[in-house]
Amino acid sequence: MRKGAGDIELAGLCKSYDGKTNVVDGVNLRIPDGAYCCFLGPSGCGKTTILRMIAGHEEPSAGEIVIGGEDVAGMAPVERRTAMMFQSYALFPHLTVRDNIAFALRVRGQSKAERYKAVDLMMEKVRLTELADRLPANLSGGQQQRVALARAAITEPRVLLLDEPLSALDEQLRVQMRQELRRMQRELGITFIHVTHTQLEAIALADLVVVMEKGRIKQSGPARDVYAYPRDRYVAEFLGGQNVLSGRVEKIGEGHVVLSQPNRSGIQVGLGSDTRVSVGDRIDLAVRRDDVELMRVDVGGLGDGMTALPSRVVAIEYQGSFVKVMLDTVPDEDFVAYVPERTFFRDPFNVGDVLLATWSAGRARVLA
C-alpha cells in the first residue's frame, strides 16, 4: 500500500453555484497526513460540498486544494488518489460484491485473474469473503458499508472521503460500524475525511473536528477541545453538553460579574480571573451541564467562588448513567444539569421543586 502524502491544505476555498451566494465561503484548513477528520455541521452548511471538491466531483469557485504538496485543481479523482464513499454507498446494483470491489481495477484494464486476486485479499480484510457472490440488494446495511469501503480502498487512495457514511444504518449498527471505520483507518494508515451532522459520531471518531456553519469554519481542533472549550455560542449549542447564558454585564466584582437580562437582572456569575470583560458588554457564558450541581435551597453553606442561581425544576429525564434535570434558571433558554444517577437518587427532586443551580466560578467560560 502506497502511503504518505495524504496531508491536505485548503486555502481560501469558496464555492458558489449562482455566482452570488457562497455555499462554501473562504475555508482555510490543514489536515495532517493519516488523520481522521470530521466535518460537522447541520445540513446545508457546505460540508458535503467541501468533501466533493476535495474528491474532484466539484470544482472550487476560488481557492486552492493541495494534497500532499500538490495542487489538485482540475485533476480527476483517480489522479488525486482520493476515493469517496458515497452516502447510501452507491453500490452497483447489477454487480456482485466481488465485481463491485473489482470495478476500479477493471476500468484500469487489469485481467480478471489479476483483479480477483487483489479483490480476494481485500475481501478477507473486511470480512466479506463469504458474501463475494451476493448482489448489493441482498446485503444488510452494515455489509453494504463494508463493500463500499473495500471498493474505495482497493484504489489505494491517500485520502478516503466519507459522505455521511453511518446515516443509512440503525442506531445500534451505527455504533458498531463507527468502530469498524476507525479500525480500517488505522489499518490503511491513510487520511479519512468524514462528513456528518451527528455530534456524537464526530467526537467519538475524529482526531480533528471541524465545526461548520453557513459555509465557514466555526472552530476546528481535537475533539476534546471543541467539545469542552467551544469558542462561541454556535459551537457550544451544536455540540451540546453546555448551558449558554447570555446577558449584559452590569457590574464587575471580585471574581464574578453581574449580568442583566431583559426581564431579570442581578444574575451573579462567577468567572475565572483571566477573563476580560467590561461593563455594558453583551456576553455569552458557557457552563458544562455536568459541572452544574443542584442543591436544596435550605442546605446553605455555599463554598467560596461558587455561583448559585435559584431555579425551578421543569422536567426530569432518566438517561441511565445520569439524570437530565431541566431548569428555568434563565428565562427563554434551556438550562440543564446532568446529575450522576446515584447522586440524584440519594435525594431525588421532583418537577416544580425550587433549588439552587450551582457551579464553581472557574468552570464558566466566556464565549466569543
Partner 1 sequence: MTVVLGETDMPMIRSRRVSAVVRGDRRPWTFYALATVFTLYVAALYGPMICIYILSFQDIRGGLVFPMKGHSLHWFVDLFTQVRTGDVKGSFDRSIKLAVLVTVITLVVSLMAGLAFRRRFFGDTFVFYLMIGSLVAPGLVLGLGIGLLFQWVGINASWYTSALGAQLSWTLPFGVLVMFAVMSRFNSVWEEAARDLGASRWQTIRLVVIPVIAPGLVAVALFGFTLSYDEFARTLQTAGSLNTLPLEIWSMTLNVTSPSLYALGTVTTIVSFVIIGACIGAIVIINKRRGARATSD
Interface with partner 1 by CB under 8 A: which range of 147-155, 275-283, 287-295, 320-328?
A: 147-155
- Which residue in the block uniquely carries the three cell numbers 453581574? 258
Tell which one of 74, 137, 262, 304 touches partner 1 (CB under 8 A).
137
Q: Which amino acid is at 325?
A: V
Q: With binding defined as CB under 8 A, does residue 229 bind partner 1?
A: no
Tell which one of 18, 133, 171, 298 touches partner 1 (CB under 8 A).
133
In this structure, are residues 354 and 297 in contact, taking their beta carbons and an 8 Å threshold? yes
Q: With binding defined as CB under 8 A, does residue 108 bind partner 1?
A: yes
Identify which of residues 104 and 193 has a Cβ nearer to partner 1 in the complex.
104
What is the smallest separation between the CB atom of 15 and partner 1, expressed in angstroms?
Answer: 17
In this structure, are residues 220 and 64 in contact, taking their beta carbons and an 8 Å threshold? no
Q: With binding defined as CB under 8 A, does residue 76 bind partner 1?
A: yes
In this structure, are residues 40 and 210 in contact, taking their beta carbons and an 8 Å threshold? yes
- Which residue in the block uniquely carries the three cell numbers 469473503? 129
In this structure, are residues 357 and 314 in contact, taking their beta carbons and an 8 Å threshold? no
Tell which one of 63, 68, 77, 362 touches partner 1 (CB under 8 A).
77
Buried b (16+ CB within 10 A) or exposed e, 193-230: bbbbbebebbbebbbbbbbbbbbbbbbbbebeebbeeb
What is the smallest separation between the CB atom of 88 and partner 1, expressed in angstroms?
Answer: 8
Rg of the chain (C-alpha set): 25
- Euclidean distance between CA atoms 212 and 194, whole angstroms: 13
Tell which one of 5, 78, 173, 326 touches partner 1 (CB under 8 A).
78
Q: With binding defined as CB under 8 A, does residue 92 bind partner 1?
A: yes
Q: With binding defined as CB under 8 A, does residue 88 bind partner 1?
A: yes
Q: With binding defined as CB under 8 A, does residue 134 bind partner 1?
A: yes
Could you tell me which residues are beta bridge partners of residue 295?
356
Contact positions vs partner 1 (CB under 8 A): 55, 57, 76-78, 83-84, 86, 88, 90-96, 103-104, 106-108, 130, 133-135, 137-138, 151-152, 155
